A = this chain, B = another copy of it.
Amino acid sequence: MSGNVTIRDVARKAGVSISTVSRVINGTGYVRESTRKKIEDAIRALGYSPNHVARSLSKGSTKIIGAILPDISNPFFPTLARGIDDAVSSRGYTLIICNTDSDVRQEESSVRVLLEKRVDGVVFVAGSPESASLVRRASEQVPVAVIDREVEGVPCDTVTVDNFRGSYELTRYLLNCGHRKMAYISGPLHLSTSKKRLAGFRACLRDSGVNDEPHVFHGDFKYDTGYSIAREIIRMGLGITCVVCANDLMAIGAMRCFQDLGIGVPSQVAVCGFDDITMASLVRPSLTTVAQPAYRMGALAAEMLLERIEKGRDQSPRSRVLEPVLVIRDSTGGGGVKA
C-alpha cells in the first residue's frame, strides 16, 4: 500500500518534521547522520515512493521531455527515438513520445497535450507543411529542439544532416559508374530534407555537365509508392539505368518491383536510397545508400535541449549539421569508384 504513503507519514514515523524528510530525500541541506538514518529506515519500512506530481507542481518542473515525431513504427524513427531517450534518461528525465503520422491535426494535439502536461522541453520532427506554426507555439512556452527537418522562421536549436551534400556525393558516384539516364523518386517536397536531396542530385548533374534531363517523380517515402513508381518508370520505357530514391523504403520498394518484373538489379537497373536503415544492408542485393546518424541526431538534439533547459533559454539557437556517409553496396553494381 505504499502508494498513498506521503512524506507526512514518513515524518511522523521517524518523529521528525516534513521539511527534514524532504531534505534527506533531496540530499539538500544539513541533516544529522542519526536523523538521516531514522528517516531512511522509515522510508524503507513504509515503502515510501516520492510523489513526483506534487514535486513537479511545487518546483515548476516536471523532468519530462516530449518528442513529437511522425511514426515510431517507421524504420528511421525508432533509432532516433532511442537516441533521444538514452540522452534524456541518463540526465534524469523521462520521455513522452507522440506519433503524428505527419498530420497537422495530430501535431496540434500533441503540442497541446505536452504543454498541458508542462513538459520541460520538446523535441520536434516536423512532418507537415504547417508544422512551423506549431513549433513556434511550443517554443513560446518551453525550449524546443528541431531534428531532421528544418523549420523556417522559428529560432530554435536544430540538428540536421547535410542532405544536399549526401545526395550530391551519391550522385557523383553514380555518374562515375557511368549512369546518365537517371530517374529520381523524391519525398514530399514540403520537407526540407526532400528538397535538399533533390537539389543535391540536380546540382551534381549540372556541375558535371550532364545534359540528359533526369526524370523526377514525386513520392512520399513509403515502400508501396517506391514500388508503384518503379512500375510506372518501366511502363514509360524511358531507358533508365539508375533509379535514385529519396529514402531507403522507396528504394527497397522499387527494387522489389524490378525483381518482380524480372528486371535485374543492378545488372539492368541500379537502385539506391537514403537513410541506411537496418533493412538496407539486409535486402538482396544490399542497398547502396547515404547513411544518416539517426541515433546521434536524437542524442545530440536531446543534449542541446537539456542544456538549454538547465542553463537558461536566452543564448541564441545553435544549429548542428552532421555529415552523412555514402555507403556503397550491391544495388548499384558494387563496382565503380568512390569519388
Contact = CB atoms under 8 A, between A and B. Distances in A.
Contact of A284 (B52, B77, B112, B283): B283
Given A2-B141, A279-B282, A85 B56 contact: no
A289 B100 CA distance: 31
Interface size grouping (class) on chain A: 35 or more
A73 interface: yes
Interface in A89-130: 89, 94-99, 112-113, 115-118
A301 interface: no
Contact of A78 (B53, B72, B98, B279): B72
A62 to B, nearest CB: 6
A53 B56 contact: yes
A208 interface: no
Contact of A96 (B50, B56, B95, B113): B95
A71 interface: yes
A49 interface: yes
A82 B71 contact: yes
A79 interface: yes
Interface of A: 1-3, 49-54, 56-57, 62, 64, 71-75, 77-79, 81-82, 85-86, 89, 94-99, 112-113, 115-118, 140-142, 252, 256, 259, 278-279, 282-284, 295
28 contacts: A1-B140, A2-B140, A2-B141, A3-B140, A3-B141, A49-B141, A51-B118, A52-B116, A53-B62, A54-B57, A57-B57, A64-B117, A72-B78, A73-B78, A73-B81, A73-B82, A73-B295, A74-B78, A78-B78, A85-B99, A94-B98, A95-B96, A95-B97, A252-B282, A256-B282, A279-B279, A282-B283, A283-B283
